[in-house]
Amino acid sequence: MNKIKLQVAALALAAGWFTTGLAAHAQKMDLQKVLAAMDASSAKFKDVQANVTVDLYTAVVQAHEIQTGTTALRRVGKGLEMAIHLKTDDGQPAEKFVLYKNGNLYYYQPAVKQETIFSAGANRSQWDAMLATGFGATSQELNDAWTVTFQGMEKIDGIETAKLDLVPKQQNVRDNYVSHLTIWVDLNRDISLKQVMYMPSSGDSKTMTYSGIRYNTRLPGSLFELHVARGTHVQKR
């Protein structure tokens, strides 16, 4: 469950250059231009909703577990709210809910009537920054939490994206949660179309791909509410 915690700017780019189309300039992109483009789009980012497919790879048995569902994220003031509703696990119904709101992360499993609540406490700004990675994050938020490497432009579903590899700056995060994270960012919207999280030592990974993206649609607050059944066992950590 600790891994779930992890699943827990200025307009520096000249508008004329940006609107000429990223594809035509792909060969000229470098890290500073990518970050400037992200900042320009981040200033316009309000919310995003998408279908999500999660591929959990366990290296020791070379096995994949596929989960599918939906996700939503929105900026609220200087913070954010995030909701994930996983509906299937390897093709079988298996509901799970993850909600991040007001500095708390809620993990709810209706089938077993179990809810676990994690509090960010004094680390809320760090949690916000990490959860926003690839979804409206500014260059400063990225650089505060990660060492960023630009690995070129790639197309995902016909959309030109910037491939960035991110290494956590905090040693305890690198040692215990994620050794590095690779994201493919649509620079026009500052949202990820794909993310791969690499776990330390084990060789395990988690790949998340996003489709059916709805961008800046003024998502209703009801998407960021958790309705827990009576009789659910709640534990706080």
pLDDT band at 105 (very low <50, low <70, confident <90, very high): very high
Quick one: tokens of 99? 């909600």
Residues in a beta bridge with 51: 70, 211
Q: How far apart are CA 49 and CA 183, in angstroms?
A: 17
Residue 101's pLDDT is: 94
- CA 182-77-142 angle, to 5 degrees, is 25
Q: How far apart are CA 86 and CA 150, in angstroms?
A: 31
- The 10s digit of each residue's pLDDT in 39-77 is 999 999 999 999 999 999 999 999 999 999 999 999 998
Q: Phi, psi at residue 157, to the nearest 5°?
A: 50, 40
Residues 131-157: what's their mean pLDDT?
93
Distance of CA 10 to the CA centre of its chain: 22
| Average pLDDT value over all residues in the chain | 88
pLDDT band at 172 (very low <50, low <70, confident <90, very high): confident
pLDDT(125) > 90: no
Q: How far apart are CA 159 and CA 191, in angstroms?
A: 12
Residue 123's pLDDT is: 84
Quick one: tokens of 193? 């179309």
Q: How far apart are CA 195 and CA 133, in angstroms?
A: 10
Considering the entire predicted model, what is its pTM? 0.84
Residue whose entry in the numeric block shows the structure tokens 């007001």: 102
pLDDT band at 209 (very low <50, low <70, confident <90, very high): very high
Residues 165-186: what's their mean pLDDT?
93
